[in-house]
Amino acid sequence: MSALARLRRTRLGMPRRPRIGARIGPLTRRALTAGFVALAVAALVCTITALVSDGRSVGAFASATVVAGLLAAGLRSTWGGRAMPPPTGRDGLMAAGLTWVATSLFASVPLYLSGSFPGVAAAIFEGTSGITTTGATALVEVDGQPNAVLLWRSMTHWIGGIGIVVLLVAIAPAAGGAARRVLLGETSRAQEETVAPQMIDTARITAGIYLTVTAVAFVLLLITGVTPWDAVNHAMSVASTGGFSTHTASAGAFESTPTEIVLTLLMLASGVSYVLWWRLITRRGLGVHATELRAFVVFVVAIGVLLALSAQGSEAPGTIFDGIFTAASITTGTGFTTADPDAWGEEARLLVLIATASGAMVGSTTGGFKVRRWLTIGGGIRSEIQRQIAPQRVVVVRIGGRPVSDDAVRAAFGFMAVASVALVFGTGLLAACGLDLLSAFSGALACLFNVGPALGSLGGVESYAEVPDAGLLGLSALMLLGRLELFTILALFTRGLWRAR
């Protein structure tokens, strides 16, 4: 707005347009501060790694360290030492949405400066894939990349997986009830149970479990003969169900059955709800989560067995375990590969698409539709059929004997509707970019549900390097949509969210 326009508004008694600080509240600035602090620390670790190892990309990550630190300090100065008005659920939505968008964009900066990526769009795609724990890559050859780049990819996964915990620890003391909105904005509205009544306690307990899973993964991989470098990178990747590897061949580069067994168990463990893990640690049993856990395990085993039995061709899996590894990797959204299921025949392709759309348990680090939503939708369909038969009958949807609220049923169907629309747009965009229909559909599906590897030209042994810039940016948007459960990102485009307090 020009100075003349502002003068006219003042003379006419019209209210001035609020400053950006009035639109982005202190809760969001706290969350952004925490995000940039985490990235500054990660960039510093990568800088040190570059200095003591191959000496490549030192400047790129040193610059990122300084810039992230300055951004964190600048944001801190806007809210530090000042009283904060009681935040609302709207503030929580904005904090989750803007923080993930900002950190995803910043994650691309050192990747682009390193020279490993040909353009800005490819770097943004890789950075977003890291923060959203998708694991899709725009690199054709992963082997031979600078060590700092490889570690940064793994650390963005790890930060993205634990990101909401970092936010909650940073903002919970001041956020009050809005902290719950931040948690549900990044995780899932399908289940609102947390490990503790207070969000700060939930964050600390969840962080402890996450760190334990990472440490256990590191040790177990070392025991199977993996080098410390590969073990630390893959431990961060599997704990976050991300999927970035230090090798072009992904987990197949190890050519070790014990390593694949360990990775399979770790992927399944990471697909289990953290609420359930805490219930087991505190000896409270499975509770209402038993049904979801049983459905998750049965689904993975069934898809794995069917993959092994239906696969055809010279590259078909030699054992049922190969099928289960692939099913666990895709269902949990980790995306590690030991083979290319795209070469196993049409039946295998269909099974891969089904597994991609499934997801693991609500409350885990995985993306996807989630098992609980499928159970809710199945119950909703069944109840509607019963109402059609007997309109006067009162039908309650139940999961594990526990009633599911009508709001949860509507949210599940709403999620399906919005995901379907996003999938159509994503498929259309990739098709317009020149991809065949199978590659376009599976690529949009894999990015929307944060899985990574797709089919066709984007298959498990391929990369997204040949996708044009417009397609890469569109897929980056799908990753953010999927990671933040669709509605949190969509809320950023509504006028009400940006209205000044």
Q: Could you give the CA distance from residue 322 to residue 327 in angstroms, rounded to a whole number?
A: 9
Tokens of 268: 């399944």
In a domain, 389, yes or no: no
In a domain, 236, yes or no: yes
In a domain, 330, yes or no: no
- How many other β-carbons are positioned within 10 Å of the β-carbon of residue 1? 9
In a domain, 270, yes or no: yes
Mean pLDDT of all residues in 277-292: 85
Q: Could you give the CA distance from residue 170 to residue 150 in angstroms, rounded to a whole number?
A: 28
Domain count within the chain: 1
pLDDT at 425 over 50: yes
Pick from 87-101, 280-294, 296-310: least confident:
87-101
More confident residue, 232 or 5: 232
Longest dimension (CA), the chain: 80
In a domain, 393, yes or no: no
Cα 332 to Cα 13, 296, 301: the distances in Å are 57, 10, 13
Mean pLDDT of all residues in 80-87: 70
pLDDT tens for 366-407 read 888 889 899 999 999 999 898 888 888 878 888 888 888 888
Between 89-113 and 58-79, two packed helices, what is the crossing angle to 10 degrees? 160
User: How long, in residues, is the chain?
Assistant: 501
Taking a C-beta distance cutoff of 8 angstroms, is the pair 218, 232 a contact? yes
Taking a C-beta distance cutoff of 8 angstroms, is the pair 16, 38 a contact? no
368 DSSP 8-state letter: S
What is the per-residue pLDDT for 477?
96
In a domain, 158, yes or no: yes
Tokens of 161: 């997986």
Q: Could you give the CA distance from residue 86 to residue 25 in angstroms, rounded to a whole number?
A: 10
Taking a C-beta distance cutoff of 8 angstroms, is the pair 243, 270 a contact? no
More confident residue, 41 or 175: 41
Mean pLDDT of the chain: 86
Tokens of 276: 């359930």
In a domain, 373, yes or no: no
Instruction: Give the bridge partners for 399, in sequence order.
Output: 402
In a domain, 80, yes or no: yes
Q: Could you give the CA distance from residue 350 to residue 359 in angstroms, rounded to a whole number?
A: 15
What is the per-residue pLDDT for 186?
46
Residue 139, classed as helix, strand or coil, is coil
Amino acid at 149: V
More confident residue, 220 or 495: 220
Taking a C-beta distance cutoff of 8 angstroms, is the pair 296, 371 a contact? yes
What is the per-residue pLDDT for 294?
93
Q: What are the φ and ψ backbone dihedral angles of 170, each rounded to 5 degrees?
A: -75, -35
What is the per-residue pLDDT for 189?
44
pLDDT tens for 179-215 read 454 444 444 444 455 555 566 677 778 888 899 999 9
The domain of 238 spans: 26-274
